[in-house]
Amino acid sequence: MSTLLGDARSGKLADNLTAFGRTLRRAGLRVDAARIALAQQALQHTGVDRRGDVSAALEAVLVSREEDRAVFRELFDAFFRDPELAHKLLAQMLPRADGTAEPPRQRPRVREALAPPKAAQAPRAPRATDKEFEFDATMTASELARLKHADFNQLSASEYRLIERLVRDIRLPVPTVPARRVRTGWRGARMHWSHTLRDAARTGGELMTLHRLQRRREPLPLLLLVDVSGSMERYARLLLAFLHAATQHIDGQRIRRDAFAFGMHLTDLTPAFREADTDAMLRVAGRAIDDFAGGTRLGDALATLRQQHARRLVGRRTLVLLVSDGLDTGEPEDLARELDWLGRHSRALLWLNPLMRYDGYAPTARCAAVLHRAADGMLAVHNVSKLQDLADGIASLMKN
């Protein structure tokens, strides 16, 4: 390890860390010059004799989000495998792997960060026909159409960032129900005498119009449960961004919504969902979730919901959207008991399942089978096209 990193006196350490930082930025990590300087100080304290110490020190100062840890570790292994690979990375000409040098099954973000940069092309003189069209430099129409049907789990880093922006423009019309409050209307069962008499005073006491009271309509309260376990790593952030932006308002009315993340335990994200900006929500949620990319124990999470947050469920009016692949490590009996309680205190439970991307998928796992029996419907959410169809799917399930 020391022969690869060198020492600060010869300049090799600083150059390698700078190149490694550029590679991390290409993979979507938030690395700036201040963090690189902090990484140099950390290695001067820990030394570079042991590979594990170097990896732990760099991870501590260069990784600020839980979802970036796995990407960092793959890039660290690829970058510091041998001196030849490091020298090529320093020149920003990242090599194609020879033999066994390429790690198997790399994440899309890692593959893109380790891909050779495209050769710069000389600018050409604009033609007259170019003025007649406006092109999107980020994505062509055909590429955008392909991404609408691409599985979130197969996106590269740049595609992932683009899709994360696209999903925020999708709206999710929540079903409405009659509220207890009333407003002035024309078809209500009760007369609105005060309004009617005020109009009559303007016409010399003649009753020209009969105003009535009719019940307002309001969106159903929402309870959002999002799985943040390891198998849901590539879906959780996108779906949190989608649910935050898609459920803020409907017909000018704010929707009552409570959001929770669950992995090994339940995390309340309702304060984060009060943020108006989706990026701000993701930052607050990232600080709140401490079991990201771990296991899944939905039964324990629902037990915490019942014991500590039962008042979040508004009678039998709450619509529950559960985002999970159903790969639970808990006991099916505990999950069945908690789902039975949730069903008695909500209007409907809809399971949004990314595994429906597979043709012929069936929830045959023990806990997945329990969840399938308790849910009022199961819908796919693995790409942009399915998210756009989600509103129609919810509307049809609510009619049944």
Q: Which of 251, 256, 265 is nearest to 295 (CA)?
A: 265
> pLDDT tens per residue, the chain (400 residues)?
544 444 444 456 777 788 888 888 877 788 888 888 888 888 888 888 888 888 999 999 898 877 788 888 888 888 877 545 544 544 543 334 444 444 455 666 666 666 655 544 444 444 444 333 333 434 566 777 888 888 988 888 888 888 888 888 888 888 887 777 788 887 777 888 888 888 888 888 888 888 888 888 888 899 999 999 988 988 999 999 999 998 887 666 778 899 999 999 999 999 999 998 999 999 999 999 998 888 899 999 999 999 999 999 987 889 999 999 999 999 999 999 999 999 999 999 999 999 998 988 999 999 999 999 999 999 999 999 999 888 788 877 766 6
Tokens representing residue 79 in the block: 């970058």
What is the spatial distance between Cα 356 and Cα 309, in angstroms, rounded to a whole number? 30
CA distance 141 to 152: 19
Nearest to 304, CA basis, from 225, 220, 222: 225
Distances (CA, A) of 157 to 111, 115, 245: 9, 12, 21
What is the structure's pLDDT at 3?
Answer: 43
Q: Tokens 């449960």 label which residue?
A: 225
pLDDT for 107 equals 61
In sign, the C-alpha dihedral spanning 192, 195, 199, 205 is positive
Decide: pTM greater than 0.85.
no
- Per-residue model confidence (pLDDT) at position 92: 44
In 106-250, alpha helices (H): 108-113, 141-148, 157-166, 193-202, 233-246
Q: How many CA atoms lie within 13 A of 279 on its CB side?
A: 2
Q: Is 153 exposed, middle or buried (0-12, 13-18, 19+ CB in 10 A)?
A: middle
Q: Which helix (H) or strand (E) holds 380?
A: strand 377-380
Residue 277: left (phi > 0), alpha (psi -120 to 50), or beta? beta
**H-helix or E-strand containing 367?**
helix 366-374
Q: Can you tell me which residue has the tokens 């406006």?
A: 134
Q: What string of DSSP letters covers 285-330?
A: HHHH--STTS---HHHHHHHHHHH-GGGS-TT-PEEEEE------S
pLDDT at 108: 64
- CB-hemisphere CA count at 13 Å for 151? 11
pLDDT at position 280, please?
Answer: 92
Could you tell me if 153 and 198 are in contact, meaning their C-beta atoms sit under 8 angstroms apart? no
Q: How far apart are CA 377 and CA 320, in angstroms?
A: 11
Torsion sign (Cα): 194, 198, 201, 205: negative
Per-residue pLDDT, 261: 96
Mapping DSSP onto H, E and C, the string for 61-97 reads: HHCCCHHHHHHHHHHHHHHCCCHHHHHHHHCCCCCCC
Residue 236 burial by Cβ neighbours in a 10 Å radius (0-12, 13-18, 19+): buried
CA distance linking residue 157 with residue 136, whole number of Å: 19
**CA distance between the termini of the chain:** 63
Would you state the pLDDT for residue 128? 42
Q: Which string of DSSP letters, residue by residue, matches 220-237?
A: PPEEEEEE-SGGGHHHHH
Q: Which domains does the chain have, with CATH numbers?
A: 2-97+105-113 (no CATH), 169-173+221-399 (3.40.50.410), 177-218 (no CATH)
Per DSSP, 66 falls in state: G
Q: Is the dihedral of CA 309, 313, 315, 316 positive or negative?
A: negative
pLDDT of residue 37: 83
With residue 218 as reference, give the H or E element that holds it.
strand 212-219
Give ∠ CA 55-292-57 in degrees, rounded to 5.
15
Which tokens in the block code for residue 53?
Answer: 């110490």
Give, for 90, the enclosing helix (H) or strand (E). Answer: helix 83-90
